[in-house]
């Protein structure tokens, strides 16, 4: 059985994109560290199983991560997808799921890891911004890159307008990365990711650039 576990903390828009993607999985589980996360209700309305592991009930990150990892292990997932999961995971957790733990980040990594990516991009005056799906490693936002999408930074952009345009591309590339993984088309060799379709490497399809009109 192919099971996808999605971890969320808030509104769950990237989770929603995955739920709408008709992925080749048998079961989807949504887990949140926040019992008030809007995404939980969205998932429940679609008949998806949801669980809460509230980080506020634990004295430290290690204890939280141990319980979260144990809950995830109950479902024996093929893949764990971080879809706006706003917790830094411990090295032990990452090592436990390394190679089947991916994240969506709102910048063209390795540029702008961490928070406030759109504000930082505007302050730095970059001309191209975007988003990245990558494998998670102990180093924050620096794991092997699976797919990216680039958007042009417009002169009139605000943090909100840029964030909205990047989010549209997140909703495109995150389901694509998950689809490749669950269909066994991703090959991770060291720090490099290859996409294999019909035994042919397709590295040229790992950057999506919609241009000015989208």
Class of domain 1-97: alpha beta
Q: Are 133 and 174 in contact (CB under 8 A)?
A: yes
DSSP per-residue letters across 148-193: EEEEEPPTT--HHHHHHHHHHHHHHHHHHHHHHHHTT-EEEETTEE
Whole-angstrom distance, CA of residue 86 vs CA of residue 30: 14
Whole-angstrom distance, CA of residue 23 vs CA of residue 200: 22
Q: Which residues pair with 80 in a beta bridge?
A: 5, 101
| pLDDT number for residue 206 | 74
**What is the CATH code of the structural domain delimited by 103-214?**
3.40.50.170
Domain locations in the chain?
1-97, 103-214
pTM (two decimals): 0.93
| pLDDT number for residue 201 | 57
Whole-angstrom distance, CA of residue 202 vs CA of residue 163: 29
Residue 129 is a catalytic residue:
no
Per-residue pLDDT of the chain (214 residues; tens, 9 = 90+): 899 999 999 999 999 999 999 999 999 999 999 999 999 999 999 999 999 999 999 999 999 999 999 999 999 999 999 999 999 999 999 999 999 999 999 999 999 999 999 999 999 999 999 999 999 999 999 999 999 999 999 999 999 999 999 999 999 999 999 999 999 999 888 889 988 876 555 555 677 776 544 4
Q: Which of 55, 95, 105, 134 is catalytic?
A: 105
| pLDDT number for residue 32 | 98
Domains 1-97 and 103-214 in one fold = yes
Report the SS3 class of residue 121. helix
């Amino acid at each position: 059985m192919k099971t996808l576990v999605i971890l969320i903390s808030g509104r769950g828009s990237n989770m929603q994109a995955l739920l709408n993607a008709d992925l080749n999985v048998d079961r989807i589980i949504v887990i949140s560290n926040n019992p008030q996360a809007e995404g939980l209700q969205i998932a429940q309305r679609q008949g998806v199983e949801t669980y809460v592991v509230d980080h506020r009930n634990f004295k430290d990150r290690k204890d939280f991560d141990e319980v979260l990892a144990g809950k995830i292990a109950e479902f024996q997932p093929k893949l764990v997808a971080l879809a706006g999961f706003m917790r830094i995971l411990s090295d032990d957790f990452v090592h436990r799921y390394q190679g089947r733990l991916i994240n969506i980040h709102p910048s063209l990594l390795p540029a702008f890891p961490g928070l406030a990516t759109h504000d930082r991009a505007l302050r730095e005056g970059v001309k191209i911004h975007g988003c990245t799906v990558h494998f998670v490693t102990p180093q924050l936002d620096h794991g092997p890159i699976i797919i990216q999408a680039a958007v042009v930074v417009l002169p009139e952009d605000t943090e909100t307008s840029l964030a909205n345009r990047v989010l549209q591309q997140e909703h495109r590339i995150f389901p694509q990365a998950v689809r490749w993984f669950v269909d066994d088309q991703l090959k991770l060799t060291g720090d490099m990711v290859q996409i294999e379709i019909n035994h042919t490497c397709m590295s040229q399809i790992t950057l999506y650039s919609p241009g000015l009109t989208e």
